[in-house]
A and B are shown apart, each in its own frame.
Chain A
């Protein structure tokens, strides 16, 4: 046996040395992965610090491991959080398994791209095999690529032989929740935890397996999002190891993982157990309830051959598939039952025309792949990127891409979609429902939706609301094990699916449904009547709209104006910028439809990192709900605001124009916009200004309402955001959504504060959040002194009817009582059982 030579490591880059302790990343700073050093680079080619074999090269090209023949393993990691760049800006010059010389170029990177798009360029050189080392540099903080930097001490023997014997214990399968897979950071956390156990630990994915205590081995396996992994352990503490590590893996190994954003695929290996509970809990995506039978929606797996003979023929196959899909989507658009559906298919058509998708598919075909394989790989890979984006909206768009991908694939493979025969009263159960699946539905037979994935912006939710059908998202995966034809009761209001409903509750539900239908009929007939309480107080009921069509529909249904025009939705279908004239034409058309006697409240663009409709991709924010939203973004890009204000001002004479600002939290924001508005109005020669008001959706605005009131013309309360900011609960959070309830007394107190301040200055207060569309809330809001309710269009008749049902004096009493209660549940209960003596039961409810 030869005595190991001391091994010198060369600087992989030129740059500035940064002490590892100063690296702003706890995993590196705490040496979780290994000890070493950090260079803030001034060169753009990463070179090998020693001779060896490339034992790992991350697919995204930002990290590489070199293993020396003596066993030393050196990890080079370019930048912090660069895994998020998904390979962009990195060019690998070597391959995994390749032998490299010391000083050989390994990876070229685009320093400017990384500096602008990632957290940092700080590059780490870590001795993951844990030999001790000494620094060879003097005091100088600067290093030049290739200069000797470290000297490794004794190169330890790699000890791969298992020391433990006996039966291996195996964990339950775990679907990997990490958006970017087990990259260096979470892999290090896992390996570190595994090292805490005496047992031998291995991580398995189908046939692959890796030593669970070896960071490099785990990284080499490259477990990706959604991969189904199991952990095995052999040795005395195996059971404890499995328990700890399985939990760690499921929780993201220290990374925050979004449970809603990306639904883990169903685990195929283990057939889901029979649901044990009598009811399953999810999140309400569309209100209502229904009794029906389970219909499981399963997408067939398509057989795809990878290789193909003639690229030219395959390119034709691809073009034919694309043309066919475009035509089919056009038909779907023309026949779409709702505007929401039409919009979705329009977006699908645009996806099919995306140049980068097509370019990539053609590239693969020219490499000898079949059209189907090429198309499928490209769409799947891109969908993964969407999912990994960390943006919930984009993650849900991954479903669109997969859907469009399948559509083209089926056309290329000549797979016919068999006509879908649904039984009556079908409750569709699925992992996720794609737009294509829902478009083909016979809506006369479907009574509800129940899905595992999806949230408030998912297609199921949009479609279900458009169809007026109940839907529950975010159900546990057990729901997929329900047998077709099982009788279930879907109570979307509570977010529950009851598996074995008893006859009494079925009967109650049916009675309720009949009553509701009768009531709807009556409300509709009386929609054009004024909303006047029994004791003669008239309230204005207006509409929340996002298009001209909705404005017209609102008037038909008795809407007395528009209380919220969501201007960010107006140019959904546009792929290029609408000119100011076009914008003005749209606002004017809506104003003209309303006429000079009706209010039109236009909310200025309400976009931001959290909102699906950000018109520009914004920089990722750690907490978009507390970031550049609404008026904050508009004031950062004042040109955009000015242009929109000019366009809105063009409709000034056509309706009673109001301009409303979203997310205002500072008086200075209001004053700044007022000044801009005055300037724009003056430049257009207007001598009268439209009314200017603000949304009350941040607690500080409600608390400061007395300061805002003298400077606004009106307030409109956005109860959705006000609720989530007041209660600090995400309204789409799978476990919190049911508690993020606007009926919470804290929210009611803020509403009361706002109303009091507004009325003291003679200003009116509207409510345009979801609460104003809920008949149960009507007595409460009237009692709190709200002057106007702006509801979603289909609910206008019901809200007007609810106003006609009550006496204002009773409402004031129940509102006073509600303010003293403890919880949203108590407020709802009080309202449900509220039956003022003066109010006879409505005739419909008696029948």
Chain B
């Protein structure tokens, strides 16, 4: 509700020239370790990767069906949270970024 109103007010007052571009247009491909990428359905299945909420990498999947849940749950894999609409959060440890450890 607040977001809606806020954007309504921005719109009322400001030129809305171009639709907002996605924040991560050219995501660096190295955010996730290879084995995680594989379990998520491979490089081509990831439309975006975005660091959010300090400890998470938010991944948008092209095709949620290609996600390999058992592989993701295997020992040694980071914790993941599979959400609706092909969104997956991959949790990274607080101290070190995943790309370096994994």
User: How far, in Å, is A375 (CB) from chain B's closest CB?
Assistant: 15
Q: Which A residues are CB-close (under 8 A) to B79? A: 15-16, 40, 42, 142
Task: Choose one: B2, B5, B20, B91; the contact of A42 (CB below 8 Å).
Answer: B91
CA of A706 to CA of B94, assembled, Å: 45
What 9 A-B pairs are tightest by C-beta distance, nearest first?
Answer: A571-B15, A350-B12, A115-B53, A42-B81, A615-B14, A120-B54, A115-B52, A22-B94, A577-B16
User: How far, in Å, is B86 (CB) from chain A's closest CB?
Assistant: 11
B12 touches A115 (CB 8 A): no
Instruction: Give residues of chain A (419-466) contacting chain B, Cβ–Cβ below 8 Å.
Output: none
Binds B, one of A196-204, A354-362, A828-836: A354-362
A119 touches B53 (CB 8 A): yes
B16 touches A576 (CB 8 A): yes
Interface string of B49-60 (1 = CB under 8 A from A): 000111110100
User: How far, in Å, is B100 (CB) from chain A's closest CB?
Assistant: 17
Closest to A611 in B: B14
Interface string of A244-284 (1 = CB under 8 A from B): 00000000000000000000000000000000000000000
B11 touches A575 (CB 8 A): yes
Instruction: Give residues of chain A (337-383) contacting chain B, Cβ–Cβ below 8 Å.
Output: 347, 350-351, 354, 356-357, 360, 382
A138 contacts B by Cβ under 8 Å: no
Closest to A18 in B: B94
Asked if A640 meets B17 with Cβ closer than 8 Å, knowing A22-B94, A120-B54, the reply is yes
Instruction: Give residues of chain A (785-839) contacting chain B, Cβ–Cβ below 8 Å.
Output: none
User: How far, in Å, is B39 (CB) from chain A's closest CB?
Assistant: 15
Closest to B23 in A: A619
A122 touches B5 (CB 8 A): no
B18 touches A639 (CB 8 A): yes
B80 contacts A by Cβ under 8 Å: yes
CA of A807 to CA of B10, assembled, Å: 48
B27 contacts A by Cβ under 8 Å: no
CA of A88 to CA of B18, assembled, Å: 27
Instruction: Give residues of chain A (591-633) contacting chain B, Cβ–Cβ below 8 Å.
Output: 605, 607, 612-617
A118 touches B53 (CB 8 A): yes
B30 contacts A by Cβ under 8 Å: no
A498 contacts B by Cβ under 8 Å: no
A589 contacts B by Cβ under 8 Å: no
Closest to B12 in A: A350
User: How far, in Å, is A607 (CB) from chain B's closest CB?
Assistant: 8
User: How far, in Å, is B53 (CB) from chain A's closest CB?
Assistant: 4
Instruction: Give residues of chain A (568-595) contacting chain B, Cβ–Cβ below 8 Å.
Output: 568, 570-572, 574-578, 583
Q: Which B residues are CB-close (under 8 A) to A119? A: 53-54
Residues of B within 8 A of A (CB): 1-21, 52-56, 58, 79-81, 83-84, 87, 89, 91, 93-95
A397 touches B9 (CB 8 A): yes
Asked if A570 meets B15 with Cβ closer than 8 Å, knowing A22-B94, A356-B8, the reply is yes
CA of A120 to CA of B56, assembled, Å: 9
Task: Choose one: A112, A382, A576, A607; the contact of B58 (CB below 8 Å).
Answer: A112
CA of A571 to CA of B18, assembled, Å: 13
B15 touches A122 (CB 8 A): no
A97 contacts B by Cβ under 8 Å: no
B2 touches A572 (CB 8 A): no
A115 touches B15 (CB 8 A): no
CA of A18 to CA of B94, assembled, Å: 8
Q: Which A residues are CB-close (under 8 A) to B5? A: 354, 356-357, 382, 385-386
Q: Can you list 29 A-B pairs, Cβ within 8 angstroms, ordered by A? A: A16-B91, A18-B55, A18-B94, A42-B79, A42-B80, A42-B81, A79-B53, A80-B54, A88-B1, A88-B2, A88-B3, A112-B58, A115-B58, A115-B89, A118-B53, A119-B53, A120-B55, A350-B12, A351-B12, A356-B1, A356-B8, A360-B1, A575-B11, A577-B19, A615-B15, A615-B16, A615-B17, A617-B7, A643-B17
Residues of A within 8 A of B (CB): 15-16, 18, 22, 24, 40-43, 79-80, 86, 88, 111-112, 114-116, 118-122, 142, 347, 350-351, 354, 356-357, 360, 382, 385-386, 389, 394, 397, 568, 570-572, 574-578, 583, 605, 607, 612-617, 637, 639-640, 643-644
Asked if A385 meets B2 with Cβ closer than 8 Å, knowing A119-B53, A120-B55, the reply is yes
Task: Choose one: A112, A571, A574, A617; the contact of B6 (CB below 8 Å).
Answer: A617
CA of A577 to CA of B7, assembled, Å: 14
Tally inter-chain residue pairs, CB-CB below 8 A. Answer: 136
A121 touches B56 (CB 8 A): yes
CA of A643 to CA of B15, assembled, Å: 13
Q: Which B residues are CB-close (under 8 A) to A354? A: 5, 8
CA of A778 to CA of B7, assembled, Å: 42
Closest to A642 in B: B18
Closest to B11 in A: A575
User: How far, in Å, is A267 (CB) from chain B's closest CB?
Assistant: 28
Task: Choose one: A43, A142, A394, A637; the contact of B18 (CB below 8 Å).
Answer: A637
B8 touches A111 (CB 8 A): no
Q: Which B residues are CB-close (under 8 A) to A43? A: 81
A616 touches B16 (CB 8 A): yes
User: How far, in Å, is A24 (CB) from chain B's closest CB?
Assistant: 6
B53 touches A616 (CB 8 A): no
B53 touches A347 (CB 8 A): no
CA of A576 to CA of B13, assembled, Å: 10
Closest to B84 in A: A112
B89 touches A577 (CB 8 A): no
Q: Which B residues are CB-close (under 8 A) to A394? A: 6, 9
B81 touches A111 (CB 8 A): yes
Closest to B52 in A: A115
Q: Which B residues are CB-close (under 8 A) to A615? A: 10, 14-17
CA of A15 to CA of B89, assembled, Å: 12
Asked if A613 meets B54 with Cβ closer than 8 Å, knowing A42-B81, A42-B91, the reply is no
Task: Choose one: A111, A575, A605, A639; the contact of B83 (CB below 8 Å).
Answer: A111
CA of A118 to CA of B54, assembled, Å: 10
User: How far, in Å, is A25 (CB) from chain B's closest CB?
Assistant: 10
A578 touches B54 (CB 8 A): no
CA of A266 to CA of B12, assembled, Å: 31
Q: Which B residues are CB-close (under 8 A) to A572? A: 13-15
Closest to B4 in A: A356
B4 touches A578 (CB 8 A): no
Q: Which B residues are CB-close (under 8 A) to A386? A: 5-6
A637 touches B91 (CB 8 A): no
A639 touches B21 (CB 8 A): yes
User: How far, in Å, is B21 (CB) from chain A's closest CB?
Assistant: 6
Starting from the known contacts A40-B91, A115-B89, 7 additional A-B residue pairs (CB-CB under 8 Å) come to A22-B94, A86-B2, A88-B2, A116-B53, A577-B16, A578-B17, A612-B13
Task: Choose one: B10, B12, B80; the contact of A614 (CB below 8 Å).
Answer: B10
B56 touches A614 (CB 8 A): no
Q: Which A residues are CB-close (under 8 A) to B89? A: 42, 111-112, 115
Q: Which A residues are CB-close (under 8 A) to B94? A: 18, 22, 24
User: How far, in Å, is B87 (CB) from chain A's closest CB?
Assistant: 5
CA of A119 to CA of B14, assembled, Å: 27
Asked if A616 meets B20 with Cβ closer than 8 Å, knowing A40-B55, A116-B52, A570-B15, the reply is yes
Q: Which B residues are CB-close (under 8 A) to A577? A: 15-19
User: How far, in Å, is A374 (CB) from chain B's closest CB?
Assistant: 15
Q: Which B residues are CB-close (under 8 A) to A385? A: 2, 5
A571 touches B54 (CB 8 A): no
CA of A518 to CA of B93, assembled, Å: 73
Q: Which A residues are CB-close (under 8 A) to B84? A: 112
Q: Which A residues are CB-close (under 8 A) to B91? A: 15-16, 40, 42
Which has the most chain B C-beta neighbours within 10 Å: A122, A577, A616? A616
User: How far, in Å, is B17 (CB) from chain A's closest CB?
Assistant: 5
CA of A613 to CA of B12, assembled, Å: 10
